[in-house]
Amino acid sequence: MTERRVRTRSGFMNIFFTGAVFIVMYSFLIITKEACDMRLRRHELENMLQFDYKLETYYLLFHSGFLSIENEVGYGSFDEFLIEDHFKQDQYIEIRDRGDHIELKGVLSGEERGYYEIKK
């Protein structure tokens, strides 16, 4: 009888499957990272939008006459629509009475986010 010798590459298939698994896992890692980044960005945009709505609400309250300022400078409350004497460091709505007009300035994370002037 003649024996047939079959040449096999036993290590080749193991390396191939290891590479394929690595590529699939890396793809899942990238997709997961992108999903987390999108979720954080969405949360940040929602906070910015809520701040813009609050600033615009103060504008509408002053413009319609439902809210007035007693001092020269006041700061809008984020809990209720009141004017306070102090503000939070990272976000605030500054209200200034300039005599002939009222200025509303919204600051979020140290950057000016919105500005309104209301003429009396």
Read off the pLDDT of residues 52-105 as tens digits, 9 standing for 90 and up.
Answer: 999 999 899 888 888 888 888 888 877 777 788 877 778 888 888 888 889 999
Note whether residue 60 is domain-resident: yes
Instruction: Give the list of residues 6+ apart from residue 86 with CB closer than 8 angstroms, or none.
Output: 75
Note whether residue 6 is domain-resident: no
73 close to 94: Cβ distance less than 8 angstroms: yes
Number of domains in the chain: 1
**Structural domain of residue 44, as residue ranges?**
11-119
Note whether residue 26 is domain-resident: yes
Note whether residue 19 is domain-resident: yes
- CA-only gyration radius of the chain, Å: 31
Read off the pLDDT of residues 7-46 as tens digits, 9 standing for 90 and up.
Answer: 666 666 788 888 999 999 999 999 999 999 999 999 999 9
Note whether residue 3 is domain-resident: no
Whose tokens are 């009222």? That residue is 102
Note whether residue 4 is domain-resident: no
